[in-house]
């Protein structure tokens, strides 16, 4: 979609919903350096949300949507779960079909978009909970990676099934007593980031969403690498404050506590060799672009 | 959005000419060819301008799915791959259709059942995917033999459901299927069913259209719902997602959409009649004894009619081509003079007889059967015997049954 396309016909201006008018007037579409700092100053791709007050998923959503390199041509694929309640309020095309099939939907979607738009960039981003990613949808998650499908998979890891009230998930810690895990979870947290690396992902990050600049960098990298090279995976700790018994103000601290070097969400990153090369090339181009812009500004 | 323009008369990458579908299917010269049903599926897809085909092996459709892979290698299809399971394949098909592609897949029996959650989703999302179902047994003990039980499950998904009798039906209906399911007022998936092996693995003379003609490409912008390609501007769809709300608006939203899907099935009726030349075919419609059947049971019914004629019993036939939309009026009309209606079926539950009983007046006229299941063949003599017994005529005992 070109930015031109979202212009409103002057004759229809006053009957367009205000949401839409705002989007056209002050969205970050087309802005090369869009990022989380635009939140609150530019029109966001998400504003209201229907998650619990203080749910870290809502912060994660904001940072991710603000960091998409190319929202004008990005389609997101979700899955049933808390995230599916947010997608109807997100201003990019988004598909919610069933529980767990997000990476299969994205595979078909990305291939269709490649067939239909061979000369254009169309990014696909999957965003789903840990139940959808690692349990019911695991074969489809892995097989998309094996097949080297060119899209990013983001897992909102809240270490349980939040939407159905806190049942055991594969990403839950061992020993945690949950609904349907009445004597505590019997096996370790599935090591999905390692599995992702072994399965062919070119960029894998495991972290929390406590630092917006870090989330921005990770999301940008993961989308750009997926676009050019192959699958990427980002696992973000978005604790379900409701189910672990925290107050709405305590989500941030919970994430900070879990990202300490010895904890399960200590920052971990894997970049494949071709991905490293691409990132280096992109960094050089970025520098050149910024220098040129500075020069131009100096002349003006 | 990309411009919607006519492609007719122009050529695709393979040098095939996009041809007016009506002319291609009704006026273009046809070449008789001796092919298996699976090969016929390949030949139809060669002319269908498909963008994406996704495959998974299950007998008896594996051969067709593999042959379409050859078409991809030859450059007739945009993309092709084997998914990881039928549930995944149907989800991949959904993704491709959401992205505006013309999509094709094939499945059978247990595969259909494994994928089942996708079908009402396809219909609800208005994805005009075409799926060939080469029916086979679905229950334990495992069977690969033809058995049409799975059609019963498809009938309530919101998909269009057609039941082909012959390979010729298959060839024509695959192409016509896209014409019906892609109409803006329909835009629904189509399950094009046949009885596995009987149609897929036998050779028949099929009249094919020229290889250098193909259907015009799919235009996703004729869809009644937005194509998920970011070519039309997105808006936040809702301020307050109704999914999890227990209030009247959420119920009404879901209910009205469900009704809209079924209304679209109804709206497909006129297009189906146009392309298939009616939802049913009839023979001897004034007879007092009628056979109503779908799929290869129709062929067996035809043979039974010939045998009955030799014995002085006049019998008519209704071939039900489309199961969704359901030809209620047509069946009522075609059976209005019938005192006895027989419904031979290749399944144990008799879903077609149930549908007919629920449709026609004086439904005690319907004799549900004969039924064969588990992949049994249905010798026409069984149909003859069932009819003669019901009419109180002496019937010779059938071989193998004892006396
Ligand atoms: C086939 C199927 N089984 C079960 C469900 C019920 N269900 C809805 S959401 C959910 C759990 C989601 O958990 P997760 O993916 O971790 O996301 P979260 O809600 O934690 O964000 C389940 C089991 C469903 N919708 N579909
Ligand atoms: S249930 Fe948990 S994960 Fe879901 S919105 Fe509430 S706090 Fe967030």
Predicted confidence (pLDDT) at residue B400 exceeds the cutoff of 80: no
CA distance linking residue B328 with residue A99, whole number of Å:
36
Q: Which of A5, A80, A104 to mutate to test the interface with B (most CBs of B within 10 A)?
A: A104
- Residue of the CA atom closest to atom 1 of ligand 2: A162
Which among B157, B112, B110 has a CA at the least distance from the CA of B132? B112
B95 and A23 within 8 Å at the Cβ level: the answer is: no
Query: In chain B, which residues have their Cβ closer than 8 Å to the Cβ of A115?
Result: 51-52, 78-79, 101
Which whole-number Å values give the CA distances from A104 to A125, A127, A135, A205, B198, in the listed order? Answer: 12, 13, 14, 21, 32
Ligand 1 midpoint to CA B395 (Å): 59
Give Cβ neighbours of residue B3 (< 8 Å, ≥ 6 apart): none
> What distances in angstroms separate CA B248 from CA A82, A99, B132, B244, B304, one per listed residue?
22, 25, 39, 12, 55
pLDDT of residue B219: 96
Mean pLDDT of A58-78: 95
What's residue A300's pLDDT?
65
Tell me: pLDDT of B402 over 50.
no
Query: How confident is residue B243, by pLDDT bands cut at 50, 70 and 90?
Result: low
Percent of chain B surpassing pLDDT 70: 95
- Report chain B residues whose CB lies below 8 A from the CB of A92: 230, 234
Residue A124 has pLDDT above 50, yes or no: yes
Mean pLDDT of B293-303: 98
Choose from A76, A102, A111, A138 for mutation: most chain B CBs within 10 A: A111
CA dihedral over B34, B35, B40, B46, signed as positive or negative:
negative
How many contiguous H segments (helices) and E segments (strands) does chain A have? 9, 7
The distance of B236 to chain A (nearest Cα, Å) reads 5
Give residue A299's pLDDT.
Answer: 76
For the CA of A243, the closest atom of ligand 2 is 2
pLDDT at position A113, please? 98
Compare A89 and A193 and report the one with higher pLDDT.
Answer: A193
Identify which has the larger pLDDT, B252 or B277.
B277
Residue B403 has pLDDT above 50, yes or no: no
Nearest ligand, CA of residue A86? 2
Q: Assign 3-state DSSP to chain B and report helix, strand, coil percentages, each to 5.
A: 35, 20, 45
Question: Read out DSSP for A112-144?
Answer: HHHHH-TTS--EEEEEEEHIIIIIITHHHHHHH
d(C-alpha A103, C-alpha B92), whole Å: 8
Q: What's the pLDDT tens digit per position in A147-179?
A: 999 999 999 999 999 999 999 999 999 999 999
pLDDT in tens, B11-42: 999 999 999 999 999 999 999 999 999 999 99
Q: What's the confidence (pLDDT) of residue A162? A: 96
* Closest CA of chain A from B284, distance in Å: 47
> Residue A91: its pLDDT value, please?
87
- Segment B327-352 mean pLDDT: 97
Contact A258, A237 (CB under 8 A): yes
**Residues framing ligand 1 (Cβ under 6 A):** A 80-83, 99, 128-132, 156, 158, 161-164, 169
Interval B358-396: pLDDT, tens:
999 999 999 999 999 999 999 999 999 999 999 999 776
User: From the candidates B87, B92, B103, B242, which should be mutated to test the interface with A, based on the most A CB atoms within 10 A?
Assistant: B92
Does B96 lie at the interface with A, CB-CB under 8 angstroms?
Answer: yes
Q: Which of A183, A185, A153 is nearest to A171 (CA)?
A: A185
A135, A138, B181 from A196: Cα distances, Å: 14, 11, 39
Residues 241-300 of B with CB under 8 A from A: 241, 243-244
DSSP strand pairing (B322-324 vs B160-163): antiparallel
Which tokens belong to B51?
Answer: 């963008």
Q: What tokens does A34 get?
A: 């869009």
What's the token pair of residue A109? 């979607």
The residues in B 313-372 lying below 8 A from A, measured between CB atoms, are none
3-state secondary structure of B8: coil
Chain B segment 43-62 residues within 8 A of A by beta carbon are 51-52, 54
Q: Nearest CA to B30 among B168, B170, B192?
A: B168
- Taking the centre of ligand 2 as the mean of its atom positions, its distance from the CA of residue A264, in whole angstroms, is 20
* A199 interfaces chain B, CB cutoff of 8 Å: no
Q: Mind listing the pLDDT tens digit for each residue in A206-240?
A: 999 999 999 999 999 999 999 999 999 999 999 99
Nearest chain B Cα distance for residue A82, angstroms: 10
Give residue-wise pLDDT tens across range A179-206.
999 999 999 999 999 999 999 999 999 9
Q: Which of A48, A51, A81, A169 to mutate to test the pocket of ligand 2 (most atoms within 8 A of CB)?
A: A51
A12: left (phi over 0), alpha (psi -120 to 50) or beta: alpha
d(CA B306, CA B318): 15
Does the pLDDT at position B223 exceed 70? yes
Ligand 2 atom index nearest CA of A251: 7
Query: What tokens were used for A143?
Result: 């097989």
CA distances from A193 to A101, A202, A264 (A): 19, 11, 11
Residues 206-235 of chain B whose Cβ lies under 8 A from any Cβ of chain A: 226, 228-235
Selecting from A77, A112, A139 the residue whose C-beta is nearest the C-beta of B88 gives: A139
Question: pLDDT digit string (tens) for A2-56?
Answer: 777 778 888 998 898 887 788 888 888 888 889 999 998 888 888 788 899 999 9
Q: What pLDDT score was predicted for residue B56? A: 97
Collapsing DSSP to helix, strand or coil, A100 comes out as: coil
Is the predicted pLDDT of residue B2 greater than 70, yes or no? Answer: no
Distance in Å, alpha carbon of A88 to nearest chain B alpha carbon: 5
Q: Which of A138-142, B113-117, B168-172, B197-201 has the lowest mean pLDDT?
A: B197-201
**pTM as predicted:** 0.95
A7 compared with B356, residue with greater pLDDT: B356
Instruction: Report pLDDT for B239.
Output: 64
Task: With CB atoms and an 8 Å threshold, state whether A1 touches B232.
Answer: yes
Q: Measured in angstroms, how far is the CA atom of residue A55 from the centroid of ligand 2?
A: 6
B78-94: per-residue pLDDT in tens?
999 999 999 999 999 99
| 3-class DSSP state of B7 | coil
* Helices vs. strands in chain B: H and E counts, helices first: 13, 16
Q: Which ligand is nearest to the CA of A135?
A: 1
- C-alpha A238 – ligand 1 centre gap (Å): 16
Do residues B2 and A116 touch, judged by C-beta distance below 8 A? Answer: no
User: What contacts A44, CB < 8 A, 6 or more positions away?
Assistant: A38, A62, A65, A66
pLDDT at B276: 98
Residue found by looking up tokens 């060669």 in the block: B46
Strand order in the sheet with B280-283: B280-283, B315-320, B289-293, B340-345, B366-371
Q: Which ligand is nearest to the CA of A102?
A: 1
């Amino acid at each position: 979609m070109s930015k031109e396309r979202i212009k409103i016909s002057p004759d229809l201006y006053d009957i367009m919903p205000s949401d839409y008018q705002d989007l056209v007037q002050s969205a970050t579409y087309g802005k090369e350096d869009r990022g989380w700092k635009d939140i609150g100053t530019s029109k966001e791709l998400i504003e209201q949300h229907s998650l619990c007050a203080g749910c870290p998923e809502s912060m994660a959503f904001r940072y991710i949507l603000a960091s998409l390199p190319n929202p004008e041509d990005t389609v997101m694929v979700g899955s049933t779960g808390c995230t599916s309640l947010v997608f109807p309020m997100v201003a990019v095309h988004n598909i919610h079909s069933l529980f767990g099939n997000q990476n299969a939907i994205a595979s078909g979607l990305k291939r269709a978009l490649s067939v239909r738009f061979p000369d254009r960039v169309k990014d696909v981003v999957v965003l789903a909970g840990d139940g959808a990613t690692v349990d019911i949808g695991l074969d489809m998650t892995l097989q998309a990676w094996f097949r080297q499908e060119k899209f990013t998979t983001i897992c909102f890891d809240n270490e349980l099934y939040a939407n159905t009230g806190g049942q055991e998930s594969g990403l839950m810690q061992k020993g945690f007593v949950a609904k349907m895990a009445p004597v505590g979870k019997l096996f370790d947290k599935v090591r999905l980031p390692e599995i992702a690396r072994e399965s062919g992902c070119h960029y894998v990050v495991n972290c929390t969403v406590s630092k917006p600049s870090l989330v921005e960098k990770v999301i940008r990298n993961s989308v750009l690498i997926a676009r050019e090279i192959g699958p990427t995976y980002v696992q973000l700790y978005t604790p379900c404050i409701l189910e672990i018994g925290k107050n709405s103000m305590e989500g941030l601290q919970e994430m900070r506590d879990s990202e300490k070097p010895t904890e399960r969400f200590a920052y971990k990153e894997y970049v494949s060799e071709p991905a490293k090369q691409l990132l280096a090339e992109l960094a050089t181009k970025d520098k050149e672009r910024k220098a040129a812009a500075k020069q131009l500004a100096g002349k003006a | 959005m990309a411009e919607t323009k006519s492609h007719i008369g122009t050529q695709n990458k393979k040098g095939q000419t996009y041809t007016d579908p009506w002319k291609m299917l009704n006026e273009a010269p046809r070449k008789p060819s001796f092919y298996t049903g699976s090969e016929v599926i390949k030949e139809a897809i060669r002319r269908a301008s498909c963008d994406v085909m996704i495959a998974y092996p299950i007998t008896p459709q594996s051969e067709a799915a593999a042959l379409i892979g050859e078409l991809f290698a030859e450059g007739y299809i945009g993309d092709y791959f084997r998914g990881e399971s039928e549930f995944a394949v149907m989800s991949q098909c959904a993704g491709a259709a959401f992205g505006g592609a013309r999509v094709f897949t094939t499945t059978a029996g247990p595969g259909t059942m494994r994928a089942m959650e996708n079908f009402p989703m396809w219909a609800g999302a208005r994805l005009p995917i075409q799926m060939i179902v080469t029916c086979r047994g679905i229950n334990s003990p495992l069977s690969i033999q033809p058995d049409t039980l799975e059609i019963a499950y498809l009938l309530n998904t919101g998909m269009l459901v057609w039941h082909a009798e012959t390979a010729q039906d298959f060839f024509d209906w695959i192409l016509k299927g896209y014409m019906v399911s892609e109409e803006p007022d329909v835009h629904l998936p189509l399950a094009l069913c046949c009885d596995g092996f009987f149609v897929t693995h036998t050779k028949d003379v099929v009249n094919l259209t020229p290889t250098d003609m193909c259907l015009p490409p799919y235009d996703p912008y004729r869809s009644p719902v937005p194509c998920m390609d970011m070519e039309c501007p997105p808006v936040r769809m809702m301020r307050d997602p109704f999914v999890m709300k227990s209030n009247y608006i959420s119920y009404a939203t879901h209910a009205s959409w469900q009704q809209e899907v079924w209304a679209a099935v109804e709206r497909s009726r006129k297009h189906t009649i146009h392309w298939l030349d009616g939802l049913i075919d009839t023979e001897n419609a004034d007879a007092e004894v009628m056979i109503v059947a779908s799929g290869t049971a129709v062929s067996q019914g035809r043979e039974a009619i010939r045998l009955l004629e030799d014995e002085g019993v006049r019998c008519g036939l209704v071939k039900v081509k489309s199961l969704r939309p359901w030809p209620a009026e047509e069946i009522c009309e075609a059976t209005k003079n019938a005192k006895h209606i027989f419904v031979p079926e290749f399944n144990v539950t008799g879903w077609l007889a149930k549908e007919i009983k629920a449709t026609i007046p004086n439904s005690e006229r319907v004799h549900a059967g004969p039924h064969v299941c588990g992949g049994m063949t249905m010798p026409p003599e069984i149909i003859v015997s069932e009819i003669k017994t019901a009419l109180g005529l002496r019937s010779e005992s059938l071989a193998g049954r004892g006396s």
